[in-house]
Amino acid sequence: MNRSLLFKNLDYLFNPRTVAVLGASDNPEKLGFHVMKSLTAGGFRGIIVPVNPKTKSIMGIDTCSSIEDFSGAVDLAIIVLPAEVVPAVFQQCERKGVKGVVLISAGFREIDDPRGAALQHTLFELADRAGIPVIGPNTFGMINLRKDLNASFTPEFSLIRKGDIAVVSQSGGVSHLLGFMAMRQNAGFSKIVGLGNHLNVDFSEMVSYLMDDPDTRALALYIEGMDRPGRFMEEMKKTRFTKPVVAYKTGSSRIGNQASVSHTGSLAGRHEIYQGAFKQAGVLFVESAEMLLDAAHALAHCPLPRGKKIAILTGQAGPGMAAADVCESGGLEIACFHAKTQRLINELLGPLAMRTNPVDMGPAWYNTPAIEGTIRAVLEDDSVDAVLILMMFASANRGAVAGFSRFLLEWKQQKPVVGCLLAPPGIWDKEIDQLEAGGAMANFPTPERAAKALSILWEYQRQISRL
C-alpha cells in the first residue's frame, strides 16, 4: 500500500463519520458489548452501526446482519469476532469501501500455533490489496479523545481529559496504566493507539501520521520490541524534532526480554543498542511509565530551556531542597540572580525568608503581590533559563495559587515553567487546570518529579543541539 493512501485512510480511521462494530453484542460477557458501550457512552457524534445477525437492536440502536447490509458508507469497522472468520470479514469490508479497521480479535501471530501467523499473513495481504490501514490485531483498540471516539473495549478511557499527548503502545496493559495515571494526575491525551501485533500500522506509520496531527504536540511510545527497528529509526530521522517523541522500552532484563518474544512475537533486543539508536534518531529514552507520562506532559506544555540555569521558587524549604538535589543530578544548575533581581526579591520578601536561589517564599504566603513580584523578577532575569515553582497547600496559603496564576497566564511564556502545586483533591484543581490549559506551566505530583521533568526538557534540548 502506498504511504499517501495509508495516511489518507488513517485520517478516516481516526475521524470517521460512521463506525460499524462487527461482533457487537448486548451480552456484558462479550468484548463486543464493551466496545458498543465505549462508543455510545463516550459520546461519539457520528453514526454507530452494530453488526450482529442474531439481535435486532443493541443499546437502542438497530443492528445490521452484515456490514454490507448497511445502506450508507462506513469509514471505520471495529472487528470483535473470532480470528478464523476475520479474512472473510476483511473482504466484506473491502467491498463496502471501508477506509480503516480496528481489529480487536486475538489469535494471530501471538499464539504458539503456526496457523495464527498464517492467518495474520493472509490478513496483511488482504488489507494491503484493499488499501486499508489496520490497528491491531490483538489490541484493546484506539481512542481519539478530541473526537469523543472511543473505539476500544474499555469505556472508562473516555474519562481521560482531552490533551496534547498521543500515546502509541505495544501493550494494552501499559496503555490502561498510562490512562489511569493520567486520570489521577489530570494529564490529557489526544489519541491512544494500541498497536497489538501491528498488521500494517506500526510505530513507523503512527509516528509519521502523528507528526502532522494538529491535536498532538508530544508523542509517548511504549515499546517492547521491534521487527524492523532500522526502518523506524530512518522514519524518525526524517521527522526528528518536528515534535518531541519520548519512548519507554521494557525488556532490559533477561526475563523481560524473553517475555517480549512470547507477548508480541518481537525480540526486545539489546537495551543499550536501542537506547543508542533512539538517541541518534532524536527520541528521548525514559525508564518508567511515570517518566514517560511526565516527560510527554512537560514537552507538550513547555518550551525548551535555552540553558541549564534554573530558579527554584518554593512555598516551603524542604520540597525546594528535594527538587534542588534532583535538578543538580540531572545536569541543571541553580542560577545566580542578577543583582537587580536579588535586590527586588529582598525588598519583596521579609528578612525571615531564604531569599537567594532556591527562594523560600513561605513567609509571603499571604502576600500575593510579593509572590507575584518574585516570580516576575525571576522570569525577567536573563540569567534564568527555567523556573520551578513548588507550593504545598497548607490552609493558610489557600489563595496563593489563584494569586499568582493570573500573572503567569498573562506572561508571554518564553521559558519553561514547571511546578508541583499540591493540595488535597479538589482544592487547587481549577487553578492548576487553567494554568496548564493556558500554556503557563506544567504541573507534577511531587517536587522530585517536577524537577526530573525539567531535567528531561534540558536533556532533550542538549540532544537537539548535538545532532
**Distance (Å, whole) CA 464 – CA 458:** 10
Nearer to a copy of itself, 383 or 413 (CB): 383
Shortest Cβ distance from residue 323 to a copy of itself (Å)?
9
Shortest Cβ distance from residue 251 to a copy of itself (Å)?
6
Please check whether residue 149 is in contact with residue 14, taking contact to mean a CB–CB distance below 8 angstroms: yes
**Strand, coil or helix: what is 78?**
strand
Nearer to a copy of itself, 21 or 322 (CB): 322
Please check whether residue 257 is in contact with residue 215, taking contact to mean a CB–CB distance below 8 angstroms: no
Shortest Cβ distance from residue 219 to a copy of itself (Å)?
18
Residue 217: partners with Cβ closer than 8 Å, 6 or more residues away: 164, 165, 243, 244, 299, 300
Nearer to a copy of itself, 214 or 424 (CB): 424
Shortest Cβ distance from residue 212 to a copy of itself (Å)?
28
Shortest Cβ distance from residue 412 to a copy of itself (Å)?
29
Phi, psi of 21 (to 5 degrees): -110, 105
Nearer to a copy of itself, 163 or 315 (CB): 315
Q: What is the DSSP string of 146-195?
A: GGTEEEES-GGGGGSEEEEEEEEES-HHHHHHHHHHHHHHT-EEEEEEE-
Please check whether residue 306 is in contact with residue 385, taking contact to mean a CB–CB distance below 8 angstroms: yes
The residue to which cell 526502518 is assigned: 231
Shortest Cβ distance from residue 317 to a copy of itself (Å)?
4
Identify which of 253, 290, 292, 307 has the alpha carbon closest to the alpha carbon of residue 415.
307
Nearer to a copy of itself, 46 or 445 (CB): 445
Nearer to a copy of itself, 5 or 273 (CB): 273
**Distance (Å, whole) CA 86 – CA 300:** 38
Shortest Cβ distance from residue 257 to a copy of itself (Å)?
9
Nearer to a copy of itself, 183 or 437 (CB): 183
Our measurement of the distance from residue 280's CA atom to the centroid of its chain's CA atoms, rounded to an integer in Å, reads: 22
Query: Which neighbouring-strand residues pair with 62?
Result: 57
**Distance (Å, whole) CA 444 – CA 326:** 14
92 grid coordinates:
466484506
Residues in the chain: 467
**Distance (Å, whole) CA 447 – CA 275:** 27
Shortest Cβ distance from residue 223 to a copy of itself (Å)?
10
Nearer to a copy of itself, 14 or 153 (CB): 153
